[in-house]
A = this chain, B = another copy of it.
């Protein structure tokens, strides 16, 4: 059956290439996540993707392009989430968004860790993949808070700091999982984590009415 790889329809070819690229990306993310981009050799990438080193270069221009492709890949569901996510109106909305976010990051843990590892070192990565999205998220959170303050539901807090803390909360939930200190949470656990986090954010530690 076509063992000689005769000419294919362009679309077939295109699909094969795309499939192969994703195989490489998945394998590479695993290695990058474990050892960091700089400590990973192309030999390791090739082995993980079960191909020869040279073959990598048929699908990517180089090691760095594989990293960028990984980060692009991981952004697809995140961007989808951000597109769909309305400014939450109820606590339940909020919980749902946090829960979804957790789901996405956990589902592609290697990608997440790769991203979080490179953010600190690579300015391009920071700018192209994080800051832009952070701004979008930041705006949503700001809207949410501002609306709450307007509506008299939220106290008049500094929006900047508050936004940061919301994100920090999320990051704190992610970190031990990404870093392998905690096991990967089930969907149920993620739901509970999101609930607790949102509850804490909304109501604080204190007993209500205790001044």
Contact B113 A196 (CB under 8 A): no
> By the criterion CB–CB under 8 Å, are A152 and B202 in contact?
no
How far, in angstroms, from A173 to B165 measured CA to CA in the complex? 7
How many monomers of this chain does the complex have?
Answer: 4
Question: For residue A171, which residue of chain B has the nearest CB?
Answer: B168
A145 CB → nearest B CB, Å? 7
Do the beta carbons of B202 and A155 come within 8 Å of each other? no
Smallest distance from the beta carbon of A129 to chain B beta carbons, Å? 13
Task: Tell me, yes or no, whether A169 is within 8 Å of chain B by CB.
Answer: yes
- Considering only residues 179-208 of chain A, those with a C-beta below 8 Å from chain B are 179, 181, 192-193, 196-197, 199-208
Known contacts A179-B119, A204-B201, A206-B154, A167 near B161 by CB under 8 Å: no
Going nearest first, the 4 A-B pairs with the smallest beta carbon separation are: A168-B172, A204-B204, A38-B38, A36-B121
List residues of A whose CB falls within 8 A of some B CB: 3-4, 35-36, 38-39, 113, 116-117, 119-121, 126, 131, 145, 148, 152-155, 157-158, 161-162, 164-165, 167-173, 175-176, 179, 181, 192-193, 196-197, 199-211
